[in-house]
């Protein structure tokens, strides 16, 4: 028997989730955004326990957003746009320092948003890499260009150590469970523009409202 449950998941499904994020008028659905992150965390966990300090933090943030989404004010958390409007209109965001609202939807999503930029840069490097390229190098270059700028020294150190034990490119492609490396490359070529679009829309929205540095 080869039931759906028994099949290993494929990173394609996960990345497809991000294509569901965009509404017709280019708003970003939080439900699918969070679902996409759950899939990424599952993928990361399948790479080994060294990454658990990273996935713990991601899961924590996913759960904060899921709670808002499923909570009594859930209708306001349907899209990132509606969340930003609702939390700002009602003074539910700590703008200068963490105070009364240390876990607002806006500041929590911003952390995942920054990590999405890392993902975009890393997957683009994977896509265009040759067989002998090192995943650890691609990963840390992507990290240094994005997330690292927002992380304290101690976290950058820990992240750097985790990158060193990433499996090599062939194993990495295998764990993605997408097929041959040509198929991985073409899947990434399809998925990346969508991830970039979700990223760019969120970035613009946060910039407009001066939320890019939320504590």
**For residues 45 and 186, which CB has a smaller minimum distance to ligand 1PZ in the complex?**
45
Binds ligand 1PZ by CB under 6 A, chosen from 18, 118, 173, 199: 118
Copy the structure tokens of residue 125: 């490097």
Question: Are 31 and 67 within 8 A, CB to CB?
Answer: no
Which stretches within the chain are classed as H helix?
11-19, 30-45, 52-70, 80-89, 105-128, 135-145, 153-164, 169-176, 181-208
Q: Quick one: angle between helices 153-164 and 135-145, nearest 10?
A: 160
Q: Least CB distance from residue 200 to ligand 1PZ, whole Å?
A: 19
Residues 6+ apart with CB under 8 A from 128: none
CA pair distance 148, 164, nearest whole angstrom = 16
Whole-number minimum distance, CB 119 to ligand 1PZ, in Å?
A: 6
* Minimum separation from the CB atom of position 3 to ligand 1PZ (A): 26
Q: What binding mask, one character per residue, do residues 133-172 give for ligand 1PZ by CB under 6 A, x or -?
A: ------x---x---x-------x---x------x------
Using the structure block, give the residue that is written with the tokens 């540095």: 213
Distance in Å, CB of 13 to ligand 1PZ, minimum: 13
**Size of site (CB under 6 A) for ligand 1PZ:** 20
Selection from 169, 168, 188 nearest residue 178 by Cα? 188
CB atoms within 10 A of CB 160: 15
Q: Quick one: which H or E segment has residue 44?
A: helix 30-45
> Binding to ligand 1PZ (CB under 6 A): which residues in 15-44?
40, 43-44
* Residue with smaller CB distance to ligand 1PZ, 28 or 112: 112
Binding mask of the shown chain, residues 44 to 83, with x at each position contacting ligand 1PZ by CB under 6 A: x--x---x-xx--xx-------------------------
Minimum distance of ligand 1PZ from residue 188's CB (angstroms):
12
Query: What would the two tokens of residue 88 be?
Result: 């700002």
Footprint on this chain of ligand 1PZ (rule: CB under 6 A) = 40, 43-44, 47, 51, 53-54, 57-58, 111, 114-115, 118-119, 139, 143, 147, 155, 159, 166
């Amino acid at each position: 028997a080869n039931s759906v449950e028994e099949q290993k998941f494929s990173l394609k499904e996960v990345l497809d989730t991000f294509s569901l994020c965009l509404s017709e008028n280019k708003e970003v659905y939080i439900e699918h955004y969070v679902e996409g992150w759950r899939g990424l965390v599952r993928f990361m966990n399948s790479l080994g326990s060294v990454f658990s300090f990273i996935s713990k933090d991601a899961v924590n943030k996913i759960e904060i957003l899921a709670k808002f989404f499923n909570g009594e004010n859930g209708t306001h958390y349907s899209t990132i746009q509606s969340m930003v409007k609702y939390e700002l209109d009602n003074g539910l965001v700590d703008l200068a320092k963490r105070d009364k609202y240390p876990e607002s939807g806006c500041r929590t999503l911003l952390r995942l948003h920054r990590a999405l930029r890392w993902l975009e840069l890393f997957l683009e490097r994977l896509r265009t890499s040759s067989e002998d390229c090192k995943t650890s190098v691609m990963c840390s270059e992507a990290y240094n260009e994005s997330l690292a700028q927002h992380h304290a020294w101690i976290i950058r150190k820990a992240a750097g150590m985790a990158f060193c034990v990433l499996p090599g490119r062939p194993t990495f492609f295998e764990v993605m469970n997408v097929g041959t490396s040509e198929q991985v490359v073409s899947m990434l070529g399809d998925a990346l523009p969508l991830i970039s679009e979700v990223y760019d829309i969120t970035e613009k929205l946060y910039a407009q409202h001066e939320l890019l540095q939320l504590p």
